Copies of this chain bind each other. A is one copy, B any other.
Amino acid sequence: MLHAVIMAGGSGTRFWPASRHHRPKQLLALSSEMPLLRITADRVVPLVGAARLWVVTTASTAEATRELLDDLSPDHILAEPTGRDTAACAAYAARVVLHDDPDAVCLVLPADHVIPDEDRFRSAMAAGAAVVEAHGGLLTFGIRPTHPETGYGYLKVGARSFDQNGWPVHALDQFVEKPDRETASEYLADGGYLWNSGMFAWRATDLLAEVRRQLPLLSDGIGAIGDALGTAAAADALDRIYPHLPKTSVDFGIMESARQRWTVPVDFGWSDVGSWPALAGDLAADERGNVARGRTVEFESRDNILVGDGVLIAAVGVRDLVVVATPDAVLVVPRSEAQKVKDVVEALRERGWDDVL
């Protein structure tokens, strides 16, 4: 049967101060009035049903996640004792789903992306799932680029193998790091490169077989956690073993050297909402270019992003700024430097100001 696993363990430092340790990006209503994770769940439920939807999150956000997704069985919200990157997350989820369904095919999806065309999204996901169900192997979905984006990693596609439900299925050639502007333009012109979406499909058994072959320590750990599933020792095994699992990503720890790899190029609108300016691109601006959330007062201000979380923002005579205000922390930064919010979060951590993290 087809299952979906939403990876919702992000720490979301790029949306500080709206995002916090206990309230990461996927729990925020960034793109609409609904939290991203809720939107992601609603997007995939028509395909797999709520009974085969699973969410992996961290212990600190498990409670808030269960409240948000109260239509899911609480035991479908898996809580990592601590984040160990996506390879551990995907393997753990595969092992849990396998305990439930020995023939499980898994779609693995990030919790915090924006995809407006839900029908086309589900059509592509169904096609990818059909590929791995029929042929095995690990499949990653790639987004056809619409502009020379430097903020994403890329996939180099290989030969086209066949079509599935109208979607082309290619061999996956290689993963490519985030390019500079010139290289990104070459990728766009070349046509053989896709944005790495972080969305995957595989049989649970195939994923675990690749983990066993490539990451034996991870495999052993997940195996021990899996053996305890359904017993009184399950929680203890998870707490004891999980924090020591090898920390690597699905892309580099598993996909890069997997024996059989597919990619399906998809062309639905997609954004990973990776920064305040990226989010603003998904929202409507007023006639002066200002994008505002919450109550604002503006005079002679242009092209600002003003996000007030229960806080009124008055912006006078400023332009191209990002201002994010919460009751205990405020960020002010030019749009062009918004990625430096990571440095702010790091500085707060160094100073021990955990109350605003």
Is A353 a contact partner of B314 (Cβ separation < 8 A)? no
A327: contacting residue among B327, B340, B356, CB under 8 A: B327
CB A157 to nearest CB in B, in angstroms, measures: 38
A312 partner, pick from B317, B321, B328, B340, beta carbons under 8 A: B328
Most chain B beta carbons < 10 A, residue from A308, A332, A341? A332
Given A323-B330, A328-B327, A330-B308, decide whether A340 and B316 contact each other with a Cβ distance below 8 A: yes
Are A329 and B314 closer than 8 Å at their CB atoms?
yes
Residues of chain A from 62 to 91 with CB closer than 8 A to chain B in the complex: none
A317 B330 Cβ-Cβ under 8 A = no
A286 within 8 A of B: no
- Closest CB in chain B relative to A332 CB, distance in Å: 5
* Copies per assembly: 2
Q: Choose from B330, B333, B343, B351 the contact partner of A330 (Cβ within 8 Å).
A: B330
Neighbouring B residues of A312 by C-beta, 8 Å: 17, 328-330, 348, 353, 356
| A interface residue numbers (CB < 8 A to B) | 17, 295, 297, 299-300, 308, 310-318, 321, 323, 325, 327-334, 337, 340-341, 343-344, 347-348, 351, 353, 356
Residue contacts A-B, CB under 8 angstroms, 28 given:
A17-B314, A295-B353, A297-B348, A297-B351, A299-B344, A300-B337, A308-B330, A310-B328, A311-B327, A311-B329, A312-B328, A313-B332, A314-B332, A314-B344, A314-B348, A316-B337, A316-B341, A317-B333, A317-B337, A318-B321, A318-B333, A318-B334, A321-B332, A323-B330, A323-B332, A325-B330, A327-B327, A332-B332
